[in-house]
Structure 1
Amino acid sequence: MKRLLLTAVLSALMIAEVHAESFTISDIRVNGLQRVSAGSVFGALPLNVGDQVDDRRLVDSTRSLFKTGFFQDIQLNRDGNVLIINVVERPSVSSIEIEGNKAISTEDLMKGLKQSGLAEGEIFQRATLEGVRNELQRQYVAQGRYSAEVDAEVVPQPRNRVGLKIKINEGTVAAIQHINVVGNTVFDDETLGQLFELKTTNWLSFFKNDDKYAREKLSGDLERLRSYYLDRGYINMDIASTQVSITPDKKHVYITVNINEGEKYTVRDVKLSGDLKVPEDQVKSLLLVQPGQVFSRKVMTTTSDLITRRLGNEGYTFANVNGVPQAHDEDHTVDIMFVVDPGKRAYVNRINYRGNTKTEDQVLRREMRQMEGGWASTYLIDQSKTRLERLGFFKEVNVETPPVPGTDDQVDVNYSVEEQASGSITASVGFAQSAGLILGGSISQSNFLGSGNKVSIGLTRSEYQTRYNFGFVDPYFTADGVSLGYNAFYRSTDYDDLDVDVASYAVDSLGAGVSLGYPISETSRLTYGLTVQQDKLKTGRYTVDEIFKFIQDEGDSFLNFKASIGWSESTLNKGVLATRGHSQSLTLETTVPGSDLSFYKLDYRGQLFKPINNDYTLRLHTELGYGDGFGSTSGLPFYENYYAGGFNSVRGFKDSTLGPRSTPSRGAAVTGNQGTIADPDQDPLPFGGNVLVQGGVELLFPLPFVKDQRSLRTSVFWDVGNVFDTNCGSKPDCTKVGFSDMASSVGLGVTWITALGPLSFSLAMPIKKPDDADTQVFQFSLGQTF
């Protein structure tokens, strides 16, 4: 800038010396232009042919041309009445090269340079380059890289161009050697040190980088320190000063924080003022602050938030509630006044949806509890958001309530969603641990064609099973949420070909069913179902006495009609990979008169997610089952038995290998059945039982180094469970129900939502192994969550 001013002054002096008299311009000529067009010069020049000019107007014209930034030198001359402008253009930037940067990406640096006016093709100004260099230096210092160096080299090139080479030596982030809080008498150094996100170097610093100094982190730590005191009654706590010292080699940082704690204050009185809009007793019930308590800013602000939300539920979306403390230093007490300003009641103008590229608007709209035209209820808006999250179609759901322009009592409600895979359409050749080679094709979609309906069509062929199935569920068969579902299936299963040591038999099943679901509250519903099923049994290589006896007593072909009634409840925050809330279901299924067999099964499933903090969640889950025969049927049919062990049961044990064992057959095959005589020397095999007890505890945590955790779940788990038989008879290794006979394991599990469905695997180590149970350390599953 000084150089420009000097040039302008010299030019003005020269003009004053050469053109002491005014004249009328007959023509204007510009010399020295290379890239800048003559039009740009004439557009900036405040002179035209025919103008009468004097020294002042010529000086003003020179300044105007300099302001364009295109020129580094300008001279005005006169040839008769012709004004001659001689210019020297500034060079343009032909290339920019950046070397040595890692902490800040080249792309981000290029964007920053462009915003500052340095980019290829732009006019080069050294002052701008110097400013950019200083700003980069400041950015690295803010990251704690005090030894960083930024050098800029300007390389002249032909045709009045320059190339820029920016060389960066980022250095290393200075490690924190010591954090010292001075002036604390109430709380010890260790307690206050735990509040800091910044830490001195420790054995976890290599992974967490918590010993690297950053100005932003220190500001956050100081605010946490201040809040800690304010939440414990020290309302006059003050951070007097903060010193950050750097060692001469710029590798270590010493932080000293000087504080004044002040005295502890208690609450003397709590009052309300303003227009409450709701009954005063309801507002008072929300007051978490009570006389006699130690003053806490957190409790005060939480109370303000609760009152604000209560008013928001009544449509006062713009309500403002402030807690105002008034200190009494003489007795160290505080009066708190909550000032309520409800504002106008707001009404919903429009409800809009964004991001649902596959899911139809009506699928989202039918989950709404907030209606257009009604007053804007905070509760109903949030409840609608929760219902969208429970669908399981979206990774994330966000909601905003911007005011409608030009009004003071209307808002729009905007829901933005990010869709995720909710099913699959595949033709597959695969391999599973327990089933061997699998050939199949299937459509399984919880959001079929964006309609919100659940559809599944499948054909699967493996070494031991052939299966055809079709299922359909319309969750909104009626507008008030009554669901309708129906299904048809055929299964041919031969456990002789299964590479799992279970008692073998073959069963062909053909059936169809229908179900109705009826909502009884916002979070629970009743389900009724009826299924007709034809089963035909055959014995196998390892057929056992229990199977032979069942076929002798009951036959080998059955037509059964099964009726079911179930209750379910879910307060989960998400339909897939939930992190908060609970779900549970209770189902009773029984055969009805007209069936060949008489039996029933009662099943309960439940899970609870309890957040520990923002990163860690505790999950408790259980599954209980009981079945038995009635009437002419003695006990639960063996092919309806429960099994335990495997991925969705007790991990670390092979599929279906826990529980009672069978009695190897030593007799002949049943007349009229196509089975064979079993090997008398065959070891007892898992046979299942009529009682299932299993559950576990999981600690969910974020996977390190993965930024997007929304489609990923990792956990450490403890699984327990087993199957029991209340009608043991002569079966060996058969025990009555008892917790002392539970199998258990611990391990690590991962679930990832892929385009093909949830992919899960686990590494587990059994810690209590029942006799004869088969273990399996690594297990995986594609298509179901855990």
Structure 2
Amino acid sequence: MKRLLLPAVLAALMIAEVHAESFTISDIRVNGLQRVSAGSVFGALPLNVGEQADDRTLVEATRELFKTGFFQDIQLGRDGNVLVITLVERPSISSIEIEGNKAISSEDLLKGLNQSGLAEGEIFQRATLEGVRNELQRQYVAQGRYSAEIQAEVIPQPRNRVALKIDINEGSVAAIQHINVVGNSVFPDEDLIDLFELKTTNWLSFFKNDDKYAREKLSGDLERLRSYYLDRGYINMDISSTQVSITPDKKHVYVTVNVDEGEKYTVRDVRLSGDLKVPEDEVKALLLVQEGQVFSRKVMTTTSELITRRLGNEGYTFANVNGVPEAHDEDNTVSITFVVDPGKRAYVNRINFRGNTKSEDEVLRREMRQMEGGWASTYLIDQSKTRLERLGFFKEVNVETPQVPGTDDQIDVNYSVEEQASGSITASVGFAQNAGLILGGSITQNNFLGSGNKVSLGLTRSEYQSRYNFGFVDPYWTPDGVSLGYNAFYRTTDYDELDVDVSSYAVDSLGAGVSIGYPISETSRLTYGLTIQQDDINTGLYTVDEIFDFTEQEGDSYLNLKASVGWSESTLNRGVMPNRGHSQSLVLETTVPGSDLSFYKLDYRGQVFQPLTDNYTLRFHTQLGYGDAYGSTAELPFYEHYYAGGFNSVRGFEDSSLGPRSTPSTGNNPGTRRDPDQDPLPFGGNVLVQGGVEMLFPLPFVKDQRSLRTALFWDVGNVFDTNCSASQKRLSDSCDIDAGNLASSVGVGLTWITALGPLSFSLAMPVVKPDDADTQVFQFSLGQTF
């Protein structure tokens, strides 16, 4: 009532100078304006020149001017027949300064103040400031900061302005001292309290902050508790009350939850109702709820979702399926009826893409399994999203299906993507005493110029060695997904430029190849390849017996034509750093008749991601390889051997350091010398066995985990050789294929997707170390992921 009377009293006092009798307004004069325009005043004033003014109209005019909020004092006077309005404007806000806040950022606070009408340049109203102060206090209380204090100071400044200074003492979040559940008899306290996100103070609380009370967290915990009972048959469970008490020092919180469990219910029968649109047998096959089961709201909801998706696959995007439980208290049973309302079949109007600033629309559109003009299939829309994620070009892919305005049977499908680095680039400059200046570089781009094609180019040049390679893959050589790839490479070594002969051997290679891939299903494809390659073996004066024996028998120059056939399958959810699904490949490569050497290699790779929770995933991976000779060739050529150790193998060991060792030359072979300082070096083998398991987990304190992967790993593997010489068998145990000869290591690794490509680090400790294996605790690599 006071708020209603005050304006009227003020208005009556302000027009005290005006003669009581009415008069005709001949002119209107406004005094005191500084920032507010005269037009704003006349726009709010309900009086005009020529109109009759009396006490009632003047009081009403005063009220209207006050409603603008621009003025803190208004006086109406009369000078003859001229209406004189004298105004005192409210001050404007020149600046807002916030101090002491950490839990809530200044940007968020200023945004909230702006929404409440407090911003630089706005009109200041003390009532608004007080309301904002109370709202800030409530926000801190919701975070469990009961001791938070908000002080607002208004500092007058010249030219009718004020500066606002908000001083915040956030205090500390009240820690939970005790959580108690009262009224439960079916489930023990420990099981129920374990459901809570809120925890009492423990040794992990410093990192997890799970002992800090927050009203939102408690609401979520109560819903989780309610769902726990509803999923176990207690449909009448009720949380009767919740008490949150705070100690006088406002540092500790006690939470008590009172529950009424009720009786346990089972399912009496399950029925379907409505227009199913699909065969009833198919719908019944989706029913997870069965007679005699303990009632579970989660199972009932999941069944509704399965039926909804099944209808969505047939174009009924707006289908609504509700599970309606009917309780029978006399025997504690529930009848469940799934009411199906399919709605109208929806069709796709347009498919739109947003966020692909580098990738061409065509690159995204060719991955679509949902077509424009066809009925909207939930499965095809989701499958299209998955295919975009598997490209590896995008950090995130989201899809929305808004209804087309003005229609009830059309939708648009909008895919929004966030692009990420899809290639890697490396450059190196070095100097070696015997080799001179070494320049090197390589670039690999999986989405070359946004075309979706993969291009790789590499160059390394020194005084004695040159390496060049080029590769190209078009994944959509034909519109139906047949891929075409080709590559060329050249490697040469010139020993005349070296001051001394120190190398065991080098291979000069020149070759080119082509491959064609055919999709045979949504997730698998066959690949055929053909490569022609010329290899020349160059040996120094110091070599090893195994190389000498091979070149003595097979010569030192070979022209081989290699044919390959491969099968691959992938259900991974992303092309880069996936965490769901599996992938595997099997490739057979062999030389064809007419080649100088006869050999083959069979390789298998596989990995499986097994989610444990939303944030933790197990990854199992393996790589197996076997190679051998056939026909006139005695054994697999030594330069085609497998090697193990390092990244993408057994971390914690130096690259290629595992497996059989070479035998230093005795100097008895013609044209060779004995190097007294040469130790046995890794020589590789024709059998590769390696694999391991990883626990993928989020990196603490990092909000955006999409470009990071951290893992605890256990790697196992080694290389074996079924064609070891007698001297090699004396040097290494890796000649015999034996699980006891597998090397292993444990450690932690991190991969970060940077603008230059994936950057990987690992810290590993060998667990089983074969003799003569070289260890390396810290390793890093640019351009590959694990």
TM over 0.5: yes
Residues 713-724 of structure 1 mapped to structure 2, 5 A cutoff: 713-724=709-720
- Residue 539 of structure 1: how far off its partner (Å): 1.9
Aligned mates of 2:264, 2:625 — CA distance in 1: 57
- Residue 41 of structure 1: how far off its partner (Å): 1.4
Which residue does the alignment assign to 2:681?
Answer: 685
Maintained 8 Å contact 1:666/1:680: no
Per mean C-alpha deviation after superposition, the further-off stretch among 10-19 and 36-45 is 10-19
Which residue does the alignment assign to 2:534?
Answer: 534
Partner residue of 2:698 out of 691, 699, 702:
702
- Residue 602 of structure 1: how far off its partner (Å): 0.5
Which residue does the alignment assign to 1:562?
Answer: 562
Which residue does the alignment assign to 1:552?
Answer: 552
Which residue does the alignment assign to 2:396?
Answer: 396
Residues 576-587 of structure 1 mapped to structure 2, 5 A cutoff: 576-587=576-587
Maintained 8 Å contact 2:424/2:783: no
- Residue 48 of structure 1: how far off its partner (Å): 1.4
Aligned mates of 1:217, 1:286 — CA distance in 2: 34
- Which deviations, in whole Å up to 9, do the C-alpha atoms of 1:605-654 show, x marking residues without a partner? 00111111100010000000000111110010111111111112111111
Maintained 8 Å contact 1:618/1:699: yes
Which residue does the alignment assign to 1:178?
Answer: 178
- Which deviations, in whole Å up to 9, do the C-alpha atoms of 1:447-498 show, x marking residues without a partner? 1111111111221247996320111111111111111111100123699999
Which residue does the alignment assign to 1:199?
Answer: 199
Residues 765-776 of structure 1 mapped to structure 2, 5 A cutoff: 765-776=765-776
Aligned mates of 1:144, 1:241 — CA distance in 2: 20
Aligned mates of 1:139, 1:340 — CA distance in 2: 42
Maintained 8 Å contact 1:72/1:88: yes
1:309 matched to 2:309? The reply is yes
Q: Aligned partner of 1:694: which letter?
A: Q
**Cα 1:637–1:16, aligned 2, differ >3 Å: closer, same or farther?**
same
Per mean C-alpha deviation after superposition, the further-off stretch among 460-469 and 525-534 is 460-469
Which residue does the alignment assign to 1:747?
Answer: 747
TM-score if structure 1 supplies the norm length? 0.96
In structure 1, runs of 5+ residues without a counterpart are none
Aligned mates of 2:638, 2:452 — CA distance in 1: 38
Aligned mates of 2:399, 2:344 — CA distance in 1: 21
Residues 54-69 of structure 1 mapped to structure 2, 5 A cutoff: 54-69=54-69
- Residue 543 of structure 1: how far off its partner (Å): 1.8
TM-score if structure 2 supplies the norm length? 0.96
Q: For residue 718 of structure 1, give the secondary structure of its aligned residue in structure 2.
A: strand
Maintained 8 Å contact 2:424/2:758: no
Residues 643-654 of structure 1 mapped to structure 2, 5 A cutoff: 643-654=643-654
Maintained 8 Å contact 1:4/1:66: no
1:213 matched to 2:213? The reply is yes
Which residue does the alignment assign to 2:135?
Answer: 135
Aligned mates of 1:199, 1:14 — CA distance in 2: 62
**Cα 1:602–1:437, aligned 2, differ >3 Å: closer, same or farther?**
farther
Q: For residue 48 of structure 2, give the secondary structure of its aligned residue in structure 1.
A: coil
**Cα 1:571–1:536, aligned 2, differ >3 Å: closer, same or farther?**
same
Maintained 8 Å contact 1:7/1:73: no
Which residue does the alignment assign to 2:723?
Answer: 727
Q: For residue 39 of structure 1, give the secondary structure of its aligned residue in structure 2.
A: helix
Q: For residue 751 of structure 1, give the secondary structure of its aligned residue in structure 2.
A: strand
Q: For residue 111 of structure 1, give the secondary structure of its aligned residue in structure 2.
A: helix
- Which deviations, in whole Å up to 9, do the C-alpha atoms of 1:36-86 show, x marking residues without a partner? 222221121111111112211111111111111111111111122111112
% identical aligned pairs:
85
Number of residue pairs aligned between Structure 1 and Structure 2: 777
Residues 430-509 of structure 1 mapped to structure 2, 5 A cutoff: 439-461=439-461, 466-492=466-492, 504-509=504-509
Q: For residue 15 of structure 2, give the secondary structure of its aligned residue in structure 1.
A: helix
Q: For residue 310 of structure 1, give the secondary structure of its aligned residue in structure 2.
A: helix
Aligned mates of 1:552, 1:488 — CA distance in 2: 29
- Which deviations, in whole Å up to 9, do the C-alpha atoms of 1:572-629 show, x marking residues without a partner? 0000001001111100001111111000000000011111110001000000000011
1:711 matched to 2:707? The reply is yes
Maintained 8 Å contact 1:4/1:72: no
Maintained 8 Å contact 1:275/1:340: yes
Q: Aligned partner of 1:698: which letter?
A: E
- Residue 223 of structure 1: how far off its partner (Å): 0.4
In structure 2, runs of 5+ residues without a counterpart are none
Which residue does the alignment assign to 2:248?
Answer: 248
Maintained 8 Å contact 1:495/1:504: no
Maintained 8 Å contact 1:494/1:504: no
- Residue 158 of structure 1: how far off its partner (Å): 2.2
Maintained 8 Å contact 1:695/1:719: yes
C-alpha RMSD over aligned residues: 2.2
1:43 matched to 2:43? The reply is yes
Which residue does the alignment assign to 1:346?
Answer: 346
Maintained 8 Å contact 2:689/2:718: yes
Aligned mates of 2:5, 2:148 — CA distance in 1: 34
- Residue 32 of structure 1: how far off its partner (Å): 2.1
Maintained 8 Å contact 1:503/1:686: no
Maintained 8 Å contact 1:177/1:253: yes
Residues 228-247 of structure 1 mapped to structure 2, 5 A cutoff: 228-247=228-247
Per mean C-alpha deviation after superposition, the further-off stretch among 168-177 and 684-693 is 684-693
Per mean C-alpha deviation after superposition, the further-off stretch among 659-668 and 467-476 is 659-668
Which residue does the alignment assign to 2:781?
Answer: 781
Q: For residue 693 of structure 1, give the secondary structure of its aligned residue in structure 2.
A: strand
Q: For residue 133 of structure 1, give the secondary structure of its aligned residue in structure 2.
A: helix
**Cα 1:211–1:438, aligned 2, differ >3 Å: closer, same or farther?**
farther
Aligned mates of 2:308, 2:152 — CA distance in 1: 54
**Cα 1:258–1:281, aligned 2, differ >3 Å: closer, same or farther?**
same
- Which deviations, in whole Å up to 9, do the C-alpha atoms of 1:201-254 show, x marking residues without a partner? 011000100000000000000000000011111111100000110000000000
**Cα 1:620–1:9, aligned 2, differ >3 Å: closer, same or farther?**
same
1:417 matched to 2:417? The reply is yes
Maintained 8 Å contact 1:494/1:506: no
**Cα 1:483–1:127, aligned 2, differ >3 Å: closer, same or farther?**
same
- Residue 34 of structure 1: how far off its partner (Å): 2.4
Aligned mates of 1:224, 1:257 — CA distance in 2: 13
Aligned mates of 1:202, 1:437 — CA distance in 2: 59
Q: Aligned partner of 1:506: which letter?
A: A
Q: For residue 335 of structure 2, give the secondary structure of its aligned residue in structure 1.
A: strand
- Which deviations, in whole Å up to 9, do the C-alpha atoms of 1:389-418 show, x marking residues without a partner? 111000011111111100100111111110
Which residue does the alignment assign to 1:408?
Answer: 408
Q: For residue 645 of structure 2, give the secondary structure of its aligned residue in structure 1.
A: coil
- Residue 426 of structure 1: how far off its partner (Å): 5.9
Q: Aligned partner of 1:165: which letter?
A: K
Aligned mates of 1:606, 1:413 — CA distance in 2: 34
**Cα 1:357–1:438, aligned 2, differ >3 Å: closer, same or farther?**
farther
Q: For residue 563 of structure 1, give the secondary structure of its aligned residue in structure 2.
A: strand
Q: For residue 689 of structure 2, give the secondary structure of its aligned residue in structure 1.
A: strand
- Which deviations, in whole Å up to 9, do the C-alpha atoms of 1:309-364 show, x marking residues without a partner? 00000000000001111111111111111111100010110000000011011111
